[in-house]
Amino acid sequence: MIDSSTELYGVFGNPVSHSLGPLMHNAAFAAKGINAVYLSFMIKNIKKGIESIRELGIKGVSITIPFKQSVIPFLDEIDKFAGEIGAVNTVVNNNGMLTGFNTDSYGAIEPLKQRLSIEKKRVCIIGAGGAARAVAFGIKKEKGMVFIGNRSEPRGKILAEQTAGRFIGLENISEIDPDIIINTTPVGMIPDVNKSPVPADLFKKHMTVMDIVYNPLRTKFIKDAEAAGCAVVDGLSMFINQGAAQFELFTGHRAPVKLMRRRVEDYINENQS
């Protein structure tokens, strides 16, 4: 029941209507008996959005496209690793003190580590935005070899340099024969489900392929990789892991990870059938 004691959390983004963050977090609040609600907010001006956190007493927010980098100047503190990444996906309000964190890196790296050792692997990251930065710095931390594939060469080269990696044009990815390919762009997200950031013939059987897009659960990128015999990690794995880390930062409670995944997975399956 929502009452005067209900704590408010949310996600700031533009667009944001596709986000399943409310479904995941509200299921976790209910499971833990926490009097809180998590809502979606489409933000046009991130500075004003951050001001609203203090004004409305919002306890914490998730930050998504396109604000993961532009939000930083408006926060009071930045977690050290988030500062290194240069991107924030989580803001916690502690009595008016707003601190930025990045759980995207953990969300992406953890499911990969469960499958293989990242050390010395050639990892091609498609994209150079906020999510790509989180993934790239996570790969660097695990001593993987970072390659950035991006349409914009200047932006891609900057991220490659910052992670001791190498920039490579999207059309040249096959030349490095990557061990791991990770899509960090929104290409393939609903409604553009027939699109992929790379051609299907790029994938080889020895590769591990990960998408951060989770709606649809099986993107064209993932389907093409499966058809080539690759090991795949769907976007829901990253989404749930980063969300669980957010939940723990928000509440101090251990996240009900399996329940969070089951709730989101059921919803996606119901709405894609």
Q: Where are the beta strands (DSSP E) in 64-142?
A: 77-78, 90-94, 97-101, 122-126
Question: How many whole angstroms from its chain centre is CA 75?
Answer: 20
Query: Which position among 32, 48, 59, 68 bears the catalytic label?
Result: 68
pLDDT tens track, the chain, 273 positions: 899 999 999 999 998 988 899 999 999 999 999 999 999 999 999 999 999 999 999 999 999 989 999 999 999 999 999 999 999 999 999 999 999 999 999 999 999 999 999 999 999 999 998 889 999 999 999 999 999 999 889 999 999 999 999 999 999 999 999 999 999 999 999 889 999 999 999 999 999 999 999 888 899 999 999 999 999 999 899 999 999 999 999 999 999 999 999 999 999 888 865
Q: What is the pLDDT of residue 273?
A: 53
Does residue 68 carry a catalytic annotation? Answer: yes
The model's pTM is: 0.87
CB 28 within 8 A of CB 260: yes
Q: Environment class of residue 19 by beta-carbon count within 10 Å: exposed (0-12), middle (13-18) or buried (19+)?
A: buried
CB 146 within 8 A of CB 119: no
How do beta strands 122-126 and 90-94 pair? Answer: unpaired
In Å, what is the CA distance from 218 to each residue of 168, 189, 212, 226, 237? Answer: 26, 10, 11, 10, 12
Buried-exposed string 138-161: b where 16+ CB fall within 10 A, e elsewhere:
bbbebebbbbbbbeeeebbbbbbe
Choosing among 3.40.50.10860, 3.20.20.140, 3.40.50.80, 1.10.1040.10, the CATH entry for 7-102+237-272 is 3.40.50.10860
| Rounded distance between C-alpha atoms, residue 89 and residue 71, angstroms | 9
- Percentage helix, strand, coil for the chain under 3-state DSSP, each rounded to 5: 40, 20, 40
Q: Which two tokens stand for residue 137?
A: 């710095």
The domains spanning 7-102+237-272 and 105-233 adopt the same CATH topology = yes
Q: What is the pLDDT of residue 270?
A: 86
Reply yes or no on domain 105-233 having CATH 3.30.300.30.
Answer: no
Concatenate the DSSP letters of all residues of 74-88 into one string. G-SEE-HHHHHHT--
CB 178 within 8 A of CB 122: yes
User: Would you kindly state where each structural domain of the chain is located, as residue ranges?
Assistant: 7-102+237-272, 105-233
- Residue for token digits 């591990």? 208
Which distant-in-sequence residues (6+ apart) come within 8 Å of 101 by Cβ? 79, 82, 88, 89, 90, 91, 92, 249
